[in-house]
């Protein structure tokens, strides 16, 4: 009985702590939404907290009409989707090869990968390599250099190694090749780790702006995070919507910044509910019965 009470108290304390942490993460988003939906009178006086005052849709009417934002959003969606697919293709094939005991020299390859995990190339050599291979000022410069990460390779390799060897042996008896084992056995049974790596990389790609500042000079290739950074830090609202436009719809710069932050953040948040189940559910459960 004492053990049961102590466990119950622990779960209550743990759940309460996690709930408070979750609230602290949600409150800034609620505040931004409230500011962007409020009247400029209340927003400029800083009287808006977690609920809109003087409900007003002028910010979003202006945002949805900005061609620059939609173009930047399209660039971000493109590099996130294509970059994540490239990451999964390279990471899964390398991780599967490293997980197979018959691969020659896999120990040396793994040691080389771990070295890149500890030591990173500095900015100037990285820029020179990207420029030398002709990726400078293209979207490939945002997707190719970071597609293969040591952490993702090690994570996926460890998961592949935990798959039962009996499954591979049974597939080979049925005439399945090594490529078939990878495509028909390893990948379908590894959806949790594939979804995890995809989510990690997609979030990193979506939030990245430094690579675009270094490698991209064409304005039509700038992702949404660069536009957001320039708007928030450099106050470049005039490049998105003229001052006369803001005045005509009674919108303050702070309201526009709040709306742009939400505009750039919500798409990646929408993806989470569709992938989170793979973090708690194992695809291998019950797949092999002894």
What CA–CA distances, in Å, run from 79 to 133, 203, 212, 253, 283? 19, 11, 11, 29, 29
* Maximum average pLDDT range among 24-38, 41-55, 229-243: 24-38
pLDDT on residue 90: 93
The predicted model scores a pTM of 0.81
Residues 6+ apart with CB under 8 A from 248: none
pLDDT tens readout for residues 139-152: 999 999 888 888 88
What CA–CA distances, in Å, run from 171 to 101, 165, 174? 17, 10, 5
Do the beta carbons of residue 189 and residue 207 sit within 8 Å? no
How many whole angstroms separate alpha carbon 64 and alpha carbon 100?
51
pLDDT on residue 2: 54
- Is the predicted pLDDT of residue 288 greater than 50, yes or no? no
pLDDT on residue 244: 45
Confidence of residue 43 (pLDDT cuts 50, 70, 90): confident
Confidence of residue 282 (pLDDT cuts 50, 70, 90): very low
- Is the predicted pLDDT of residue 105 greater than 60, yes or no? yes
Confidence of residue 81 (pLDDT cuts 50, 70, 90): very high
How many whole angstroms separate alpha carbon 97 and alpha carbon 161?
10
Average pLDDT in the 42-65 region?
81
Question: What's the fold here for domain 77-191?
Answer: MetI-like fold (1.10.3720)
Q: Kindly tell me the burial class for residue 201, based on how many C-beta atoms sit within 10 Å of its own C-beta (0-12, 13-18, 19 or more).
A: buried
Average pLDDT in the 48-70 region?
82
pLDDT tens readout for residues 119-174: 877 888 888 888 899 888 899 999 998 888 888 888 888 888 888 778 777 878 87
pLDDT on residue 7: 78
Provide CATH 1.10.3720.10 ranges for the chain: 77-191
pLDDT on residue 3: 58
Q: CA-based diameter of the chain, in Å? A: 74
pLDDT tens readout for residues 217-268: 888 888 988 888 887 776 656 555 554 455 555 677 788 888 888 888 888 8
Question: How much of the chain exceeds pLDDT 70, in percent?
Answer: 87
What CA–CA distances, in Å, run from 182 to 93, 96, 108, 150, 266? 8, 7, 22, 20, 35
pLDDT on residue 250: 65
Q: Kindly tell me the burial class for residue 154, based on how many C-beta atoms sit within 10 Å of its own C-beta (0-12, 13-18, 19 or more).
A: middle
* Maximum average pLDDT range among 12-16, 181-185, 274-278: 12-16
How many whole angstroms separate alpha carbon 213 and alpha carbon 203?
18
């Amino acid at each position: 009985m004492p053990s049961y009470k102590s466990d119950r108290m622990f779960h209550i304390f743990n759940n309460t702590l996690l709930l408070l942490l979750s609230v602290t993460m949600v409150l800034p988003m609620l505040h931004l939404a409230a500011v962007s939906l409020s009247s400029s009178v209340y927003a400029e006086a800083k009287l808006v907290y977690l609920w809109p005052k003087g409900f007003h849709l002028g910010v979003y009417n202006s945002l949805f009409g900005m061609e620059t934002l939609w173009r930047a959003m399209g660039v971000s969606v493109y590099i996130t989707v294509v970059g994540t697919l490239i990451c999964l293709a390279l990471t899964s094939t390398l991780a599967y090869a490293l997980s197979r005991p018959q691969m020659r020299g896999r120990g040396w390859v793994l040691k080389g990968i771990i070295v890149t995990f500890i030591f990173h190339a500095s900015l100037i050599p990285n820029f020179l390599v990207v420029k030398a291979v002709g990726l400078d000022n293209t979207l490939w410069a945002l997707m190719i250099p970071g597609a293969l990460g040591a952490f993702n390779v090690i994570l996926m390799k460890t998961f592949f190694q935990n798959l039962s060897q009996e499954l591979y042996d049974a597939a080979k008896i049925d005439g399945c090749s090594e490529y078939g084992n990878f495509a028909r056995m390893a990948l379908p049974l590894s959806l949790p780790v594939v979804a995890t790596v995809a989510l990690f990389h997609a979030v990193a790609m979506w939030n990245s702006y430094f690579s675009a500042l270094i490698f991209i000079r064409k304005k039509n290739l700038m992702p949404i995070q660069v536009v957001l950074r320039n708007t928030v830090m450099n106050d470049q609202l005039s490049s998105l919507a003229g001052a006369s436009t803001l005045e005509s719809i009674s919108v303050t710069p702070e309201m526009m910044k709040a709306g742009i932050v939400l505009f750039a953040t919500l798409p990646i948040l929408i993806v989470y509910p569709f992938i989170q189940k793979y973090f708690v559910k194992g695809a291998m459960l019950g797949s092999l019965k002894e």
